[in-house]
Structure 1
């Protein structure tokens, strides 16, 4: 049952991307990614623009209201990847979550760690 609801969130994210309200990360020349989902976990990849952060927060709030679910901000974190500046503290405050730095562990796997 939860997979059906999670697919609804995925569809909403794809829609706001198609409308240009949110832009995900680009790897190489042709790999574009906005989110990854595994059971009740979602990772969002956003270009570092405040409009995209605000728009994704609006989308998540609408999803909460429509689905009757609640985003668990205490388990959420914001991770900045290869960008200068110090906006991550302000953005973490918008999400009401903590900030983290690579490497982190996700689903028991290290992300951003050196291969050795």
Structure 2
């Protein structure tokens, strides 16, 4: 009896109130605001800074020398610049904007 009431009443309320609110308010906000910020800011920083450093330092060294030179020079440079740049610029921006916007949008919806 309880399961039937739950299915008929609660799930119906959820389907016709909560789910539409989520679909038409929280999800568009998340997609428009957060993903746009991530794409414009973080990916731009990554492409301009990190990939540029990689292309003009590591790749020429790799092409001119050998794999060992790449492993002991380029790979550490790549890891220190790209990974740290991503962790300390893009990741905090992503976490602060996307996660908080997502949490507050869902919380108040």
Relative to the length of structure 1, the TM-score reads 0.32
Q: Which has the higher contact order (CA 8 A, sep 6+)?
A: 2
TM-score by length of 2: 0.34
Structure richer in strand, relative to its length: 1
Richer in helix (by share): 2
Could you say which structure has the larger radius of gyration? 2
